[in-house]
Amino acid sequence: MSGTWYYIFTLAFFLFDYFILAMGLNIQYGETGILNFAYIGFVAIGAYVTGVLSLPSSAGTGQYYILGLSLPFPVNLLLGGLTASAFAVLVALIALRRLRTDYLAMVLISLSLVLYDVCNNYVPLFNGADGLYNVPEPFAAALKLNTNSFIPFFAAVTGVIALFMWFVMSRVTRSPAGRTFRAIRDDEVVAAALGKDVFRQQLKSMLIGSFYAGIGGGLLIQFSGSFNPTAWLPGETFVVFAVILVGGVGNNIGLLVGALLVETLLVHLPAFLPAIPGAPGLIEYFDAVLIGVLLMVMLWFRPQGVVPERARRAASFGVKARLGTAAGELAEHVGSARAPQATTEPVALTTEGSGP
């Protein structure tokens, strides 16, 4: 396989994977309004758990890690996602309840750093700073794939998974449950006054979003065969935020566009550029600066993103339209062609005003 195709399939993989990650953060932040600055921590949990479940027992591998159960591919991935969800419940029980936005954001970003710190320092857990490597490539043995053919194969697998997860997510966001999430995002106090158990709904949203994070992380480690702490410093959370804010908060198509623009074009394409002699890493630094600047420019000029959230129109419910004549339209609403005709009788309450 030529180098170009290798790049293209690698980029395709990251596009699909970050689409999944973006959907997970979007349901938390974009739909429910939870500013989860620890998002990348949940991705890491999914990656590590997926990894150690597919790796053989650690004795004799030169690595140190827990479990090592040699589980086959989709099973380890699912368990990775579920572990991330379980962890989200724990976090939510401690932090989400009764903390206002900025407290929560501080606690979560701290959590992200502490997870990093523990994984980086405590070797017996996930092999410390070296991270996991030599993670078995799914189906490679069964399908006799070599390193070259594995990349397009796994990019396609990830594409199928992303498609399925997109289908599931759009069902969730278009359902009454999604509507309730958005009500909480817009105003928690109002949602509670409308009988919504805000904490319970946020918990649900955390759970779903973290599952997506875990799956996205699991696919990452399966694709590259390795995962180490430098891959998930808190700044990485920002990249996922950039994906959803650039693409369009609350719109699944927008997330795909965001993943393409930010993750594929800005994060990964420059990695294939030749390094500037004498200045190692300079391209990556500028790249990160560029992402930060792009995000601010987007927020300022187009806060709804490239593809904005769509409004759910009345017609889409398949209910017969009204004539719209029962009560007078408000005078403030311009463009009312029809004469108002009241059935509800106004009461003359003001000295100068009277009903029509």
Partner 1 sequence: MTSVTMPETGGPGDGSVILRCEGITKAFQGVHAVNGAAFDVVKGQVTALIGPNGAGKTTLVNILSGSMTCDRGHEFIGGTEVTNWPSHRIARLGLMRTFQLSRELGGLTVLENLLVAPHQQPGESLFNVFFRPRLVKRQERAYVERALDLLDTYGLYRLRDNRAGELSGGQKKLLEISRAVMVSPQVLLLDEPMAGVNPALIDRIGGYILDLQRSGVTVLMIEHNLNVVEQICDHVIVLAEGRTLATGRLSELRQNEQVVKAYLGEVIDAGTDR
Partner 2 sequence: MQLFWLSFGFGLVTASVLAISAVGLSLQFGITNYINFAYGDFMALGAFFTYVLNDELLHLNIWVATLGGSVAMGAFAVMLNHFILAPFARRFKKTFYVLIVTFGLSLILLNLEYSIWGADVRFFSMPLDRAHHIGPLILTNSQLAVMAIAVVLMLGVHAMLKTTRLGKSMRAMSDNTTLAMTSGIDTNRVTTITWFLSGALAGLSGAVLGITEGNLTPAAGELFLFVIFAAVIVGGVGSIYGAMAGALLIGLATEVSAAYINPAYKLDTAFVILILALLIRPSGVFARPGRA
Contact flags string 145-174 toward partner 2, x per CB under 8 A = ------------------------------
Dihedral of the alpha carbons of 189, 190, 195, 197, in degrees to the nearest 10: -40
Size of the site for partner 2 (CB under 8 A): 45
Contact flags string 34-63 toward partner 2, x per CB under 8 A = -x-x--------------------------
Alpha-carbon dihedral sign for residues 184, 188, 193, 195: positive
Instruction: Give least dist CB 197 to partner 2, A.
Output: 19
Helix runs in the chain, H state only: 3-25, 39-54, 73-91, 101-121, 123-126, 147-174, 176-186, 188-193, 198-224, 235-247, 252-258, 282-301
Instruction: Report residue 35: phi and psi, to 5°.
Output: -85, 80
Binding of partner 2 by 117 (CB under 8 A):
yes
**229 near 116, Cβ under 8 Å?**
yes
**87 near 42, Cβ under 8 Å?**
yes
Q: Which one among 82, 89, 105, 198 touches partner 1, defined by CB under 8 A?
A: 198
- Coil vs helix vs strand at 238: helix
Binding of partner 1 by 274 (CB under 8 A):
no
Task: Choose the contact partner of 268 out of partner 2, partner 1, none; CB within 5 to 8 A by kind.
Answer: none
Pick the stretch among 77-85, 134-142, 226-234, 331-339 that binds partner 1 (CB under 8 A).
331-339
Binding of partner 2 by 99 (CB under 8 A):
yes
Binding of partner 1 by 213 (CB under 8 A):
no
**221 near 50, Cβ under 8 Å?**
yes
Q: Which one among 117, 146, 186, 302 touches partner 1, defined by CB under 8 A?
A: 186
State the CB neighbour count (10 A cutoff) for residue 35: 16
Which residues in the 236-265 window bind partner 1 by CB under 8 A?
Answer: 250
**298 near 241, Cβ under 8 Å?**
no
- Coil vs helix vs strand at 65: strand
Which residue(s) pair with 126 in the sheet? 65
- Residues near partner 2 (CB under 8 A) are 29, 33, 35, 37, 94-95, 98-103, 105-107, 109-111, 113-114, 117-118, 121, 234-235, 238, 241-242, 245, 279, 281-282, 284-286, 288-289, 291-293, 295-296, 299-300, 303
- Residues near partner 1 (CB under 8 A) are 168, 171-172, 175-177, 179-180, 182-183, 185-187, 189-198, 201, 204, 208, 250, 309, 311-314, 317-319, 321-333, 336, 340, 342-356
